[in-house]
Structure 1
Amino acid sequence: MLVGLSIRNVVLIDRLDLTFDSGLSVLTGETGAGKSILLDALGLSLGMRAEAGLVRQGSNQASVTASFEISGEHPVVRFLADQDMTLEEDLLVLRRTVNPEGRSRAYINDQPVSVSLLRSVGDVMVEIEGQFAQHGLLDAATHRSLLDAYGGLESEARQVADHWRHWQDLRRQLEDARQKLEQARRDEDFLRHALDELETLDPQPGEDARLGEQRQFLMNAERLLEALNGAAAELEGDGSSGAERALANAQRQLEKVADKAEGRLDKVLAALERAAAEVADAEAELSSVTADLDLEPKRLEEIETRFFALKDMARKHGCEPDELPALREDFASRLAGIDGGNEKLAELDRQAREAAKHYHDSAAGLMERRMQVAEKLSEAVNRELPPLRLEKARFVCQVTQQPEASWGAQGMERIQFEVATNPGAKPGPLNKIASGGELARFLLALKVVLAEASTVETLIFDEVDSGVGGATANAIGERLARLAVSRQLLVITHSPQVAARGRHHWRVVKEDDDSSVLTRVDRLEDESRREEVARMLSGAEITQEARAAAQRLMRES
């Protein structure tokens, strides 16, 4: 619910702070007093178009702040949460500033936001209906959701949307599988030849690195043999020499006198024994390495042949040698896909056709129920028209099945509110057929019928009583009052019958002095309110008869 509106330096308004209550609030005043400026200012805070002409002459900035009281379950809370914005309190504040060049900035609870986000939030909070409205019920995009809400069809609509998304997902999978199979078939000869080569080569994971190490080792075989033989000669010695013999001789010499050394030679003898064992191990390892080099003289040639075969195959396929095993598996998988591709396509096609049937059946059922609800909605709105002096007009909620190319998550039909203002005339869109005054009354009739279908809590009617009076104006006032039981209504009116029904009443006045022209808004209570209704009845000169008539209107309302 709108609870406050603060306006600074907008056209003829220098400073204005208004507070609002629930129920029906009316704004009255002489033509040209500035009632439309209030709507323009509010629209600015709701994200509507900003223009440099809105900035009051001589000011460097115009600003408008609209404050709303909301509950934790209000749809705007979830909407803002999806935008990573949270509300700390049950208060939503929308603010907009405009400079003299027409550039504007938008804020939600003092956080800078885009104008498009501000407009989206504004659409959730307020609907402006009237002969100059551009959104609300005139927006055909809202008609489907309003019809579903009116008929309680939201659950079925969500189910149709789920069926649509599942069907489209399977269609994409089927098309993707079909394209891959076609591509695989084009590449079949290459795949079979490449797979034969890879299976013949039989590359193994990590083989390239192992072959590289062996190749490097064998390429240095000559130098390695020379070093190995030299080391062995040094260890074995010549004749009576040699490390092992020297260690054994030293050990025997010391063992002869060990019993006389009182244990002092024990560590020396142990060290000599370990050294002898290490020398023996070293000689054995030298013999093994030497045997590797001596026993397979052709091994280097074999390893190089294998090593370069892997390199050539990897270069041919534009990959690393270690990727060849995975490439072989991929080629084999793709060929298997060709062999079993028809079965996979047939299964996906079966699933897609089944999903299409589920969508079609649920969408067709929903369309039928929408047609039934549309008929009830049309009848309900048409019952509201005669008292609003639209007895010759006819409202139609048009539900038209669309070709398959136009089907979607919302269903398989187009839904639009249409009117015919004369008997026998073909119905057309609301804003194309109805005149300004007729349009405002059509919108009022719609709103009365759809009162419970919309989540928007604040409705604004701009001169919905334009061009009518007497019983028609009284009928308009009665419907506005009925609608205000469950919604907050702000009504700009020239009709005393409508003004008399207001729970709250403001008068817009334009003050003109030698230096400037300003718009002022006064809240009226009791006597002042009766005087304003009397003025609306009698004109410039308020008579006692007008006051009595005003009192009677207010009492009857």
Structure 2
Amino acid sequence: ETGAGKSLLLGALGLLLGERGTTDLLRAGADELRVVGVFEIDRTTTRQRIEQLLDTSLPDSEIILARRFNRSGRTAAYVNDQPVAVATLRQLGSLLVDVHGQRESAALIEPAYQLELLDSFGDLHRYRKAYVEKAQQLRTARRRYAELVAAREQRQRELALVKFEREELDGAKLEPGEREELSRERERLANAQELQTFAQSGYVSLYDDEGSAAERIGKVLRDTERWIELDPELAAVAGILESIQENLRDTAQKVRRLGDRWEADPVRLLEVESRLQFLRKLELKYRKSVDDLIVYRIGLDEKENKLQQQEDDLTGLERELADLLRQTNEVGRELSKQRQKIAKRFAAETQKQLADLGM
């Protein structure tokens, strides 16, 4: 509407709905102004949006907005007697009031607002909510699908590498501590002749030679036994010497047996050196020790399962997308059908109201 006298009303309403206040709004001689507005909420969706904005439930269908402004520029805002930010009044204002000017475009020409009016008039929000939820699910699934498709080439390269490494490491037949054990064996085989010489010399010196340790201990033992009658305490000495003699015999036999085991074996030495060379190459390639490679091989199974699961997810998402698209279209068609049905009644009611207004 137009005409004189509305400026004060619109100024007060603007202040109530969060516009910036100016001191020229104050009456002469007054230090403060206060504006209060009571709004009737007759649309369920508007009420829900207001409650969501305020993060509280409204006790009834009315909401009371208040604004205070003083000459020093200080301001305060209230909703149902509870202090709020001025920005909250602005947000509420967009839900509660639509001010129309002579040359201003009103919300009525906006398609989104027209649909909001139609849905409120026909109580179609449950259909609209169902469609929005399905559409959101569809968008989420499409984003996930796009991510998996974009990463598919890289994932397939990783899968091929994992399978190759798994086969290579399985073929290597790695054993914990293998490299250290083979290194010791190589040293034994490389020094087999020297070890045999040591074993033979050691056996002879301990047990099988004139003047050996065993022979000397035996002579001392015999002399000790001859003098026991003169000093019985020598019996304990004889017992110790017998134990030493027995230990020397066992030790000499063990050295001889080890010498038999330390036989030179050029074929086995070649096998050990070849295996060690293979292990060194494997360690250099993967930059891991043999023991770490065993752990790494176990992790390849988990990595392959994860990559394969992503491939399976992609296939499953294709089916899910098709199903979600079908469901979204079904819900959308039902919403459209209900809107078309309500639109006829809405148009008739609107024309009746316009006729009553002489428009």
* TM-score interval for Structure 1 and Structure 2 normalised by the shorter chain: 0.5 to 0.7
- Write the distance in 2 (CA, Å) between the matches of 1:68 and 1:103: 23
In the other structure, the counterpart of 1:193 is 164
Amino acid at match of 1:113: A
* Structure 2 residue 324 is matched with structure 1 residue 352: no
Within 5 Å, which residues of 2 pair with 1:124-163?
A: 124=95, 126-128=96-98, 130-131=100-101, 137=108, 140-163=111-134
Amino acid at match of 1:50: R
Instruction: For structure 2, list consecutive stretches of 5 or more residues without a partner in the other structure.
Output: 181-257, 259-274
Contact 1:61 1:100 in 2 (8 A): yes
Within 5 Å, which residues of 2 pair with 1:176-191?
A: 176-191=147-162
Contact 2:34 2:69 in 1 (8 A): no
The 3 A distance-change label for structure 1 pair 130 and 359 is same
- Write the distance in 2 (CA, Å) between the matches of 1:169 and 1:60: 57
Moved more, 323-332 or 365-374: 323-332
Contact 1:191 1:335 in 2 (8 A): no
Within 5 Å, which residues of 2 pair with 1:56-205?
A: 56=26, 64-66=34-36, 68=38, 79=49, 82=52, 85-86=55-56, 94-96=65-67, 106-108=77-79, 109-113=81-85, 115=87, 117-124=88-95, 126-128=96-98, 130-131=100-101, 137=108, 140-199=111-170
Contact 2:119 2:125 in 1 (8 A): yes
C-alpha displacement of 1:356:
0.9
The 3 A distance-change label for structure 1 pair 158 and 336 is closer
C-alpha displacement of 1:314:
6.2
The structure where helix makes up a greater share of residues is 2
- Write the distance in 1 (CA, Å) between the matches of 2:280 and 2:33: 78
2:300 aligned to which of 328, 335, 351: 328
C-alpha displacement of 1:103:
9.1
Contact 2:148 2:314 in 1 (8 A): yes
* Structure 2 residue 346 is matched with structure 1 residue 377: yes
- Write the distance in 2 (CA, Å) between the matches of 1:44 and 1:382: 34
Cα RMSD (Å) of the superposition? 5.5
Contact 1:45 1:64 in 2 (8 A): no
- Write the distance in 2 (CA, Å) between the matches of 1:60 and 1:165: 54
Contact 1:77 1:86 in 2 (8 A): no
Contact 1:70 1:92 in 2 (8 A): yes
The 3 A distance-change label for structure 1 pair 78 and 198 is farther
Secondary structure of residue in 2 paired with 1:376: helix
Amino acid at match of 2:129: R
The 3 A distance-change label for structure 1 pair 196 and 386 is same
Amino acid at match of 2:332: A
- Write the distance in 2 (CA, Å) between the matches of 1:147 and 1:328: 59
Amino acid at match of 2:9: L
Amino acid at match of 1:348: L
In the other structure, the counterpart of 2:20 is 50
Within 5 Å, which residues of 2 pair with 1:130-529?
A: 130-131=100-101, 137=108, 140-199=111-170, 313=286, 324=296, 327-333=299-305, 336=308, 341=311, 345-390=314-359
Contact 2:45 2:120 in 1 (8 A): no
Amino acid at match of 1:366: L
- Write the distance in 1 (CA, Å) between the matches of 2:26 and 2:97: 26
Secondary structure of residue in 1 paired with 2:65: strand
Amino acid at match of 1:371: Q
In the other structure, the counterpart of 1:221 is none
- Write the distance in 1 (CA, Å) between the matches of 2:58 and 2:284: 65
Contact 1:63 1:98 in 2 (8 A): yes
Contact 2:138 2:324 in 1 (8 A): yes
The 3 A distance-change label for structure 1 pair 383 and 87 is closer
Q: How far does the alpha carbon of each residue in 1:428-469 deviate from its partner, in whole angstroms, 9 at most, with x for none? A: xxxxxxxxxxxxxxxxxxxxxxxxxxxxxxxxxxxxxxxxxx
- Write the distance in 2 (CA, Å) between the matches of 1:128 and 1:173: 40
Secondary structure of residue in 2 paired with 1:44: helix
- Structure having greater relative contact order (Cα 8 Å, sep ≥ 6): 1
Q: How far does the alpha carbon of each residue in 1:247-289 deviate from its partner, in whole angstroms, 9 at most, with x for none? A: xxxxxxxxxxxxxxxxxxxxxxxxxxxxxxxxxxxxxxxxxxx
Figure out how many residues of one structure are paired with residues of the other and give that number: 268
Secondary structure of residue in 2 paired with 1:50: coil
Question: TM-score normalised to the size of structure 1?
Answer: 0.36
- Write the distance in 2 (CA, Å) between the matches of 1:46 and 1:323: 67
C-alpha displacement of 1:147:
0.5
- Write the distance in 2 (CA, Å) between the matches of 1:100 and 1:331: 70
Within 5 Å, which residues of 2 pair with 1:534-549?
A: none
Secondary structure of residue in 2 paired with 1:193: helix
C-alpha displacement of 1:326:
6.3
Instruction: For structure 1, list consecutive stretches of 5 or more residues without a partner in the other structure.
Output: 1-30, 213-293, 295-301, 391-557
Contact 1:167 1:355 in 2 (8 A): yes
C-alpha displacement of 1:128:
4.2
In the other structure, the counterpart of 1:445 is none
Secondary structure of residue in 1 paired with 2:20: coil
Question: TM-score normalised to the size of structure 2?
Answer: 0.52
- Write the distance in 1 (CA, Å) between the matches of 2:293 and 2:86: 53
- Write the distance in 1 (CA, Å) between the matches of 2:350 and 2:151: 55
The 3 A distance-change label for structure 1 pair 53 and 202 is farther
Higher Cα Rg, which structure: 2
In the other structure, the counterpart of 2:250 is none
C-alpha displacement of 1:324:
3.0
- Write the distance in 2 (CA, Å) between the matches of 1:375 and 1:58: 54
The structure where strand makes up a greater share of residues is 1
Contact 2:118 2:343 in 1 (8 A): yes
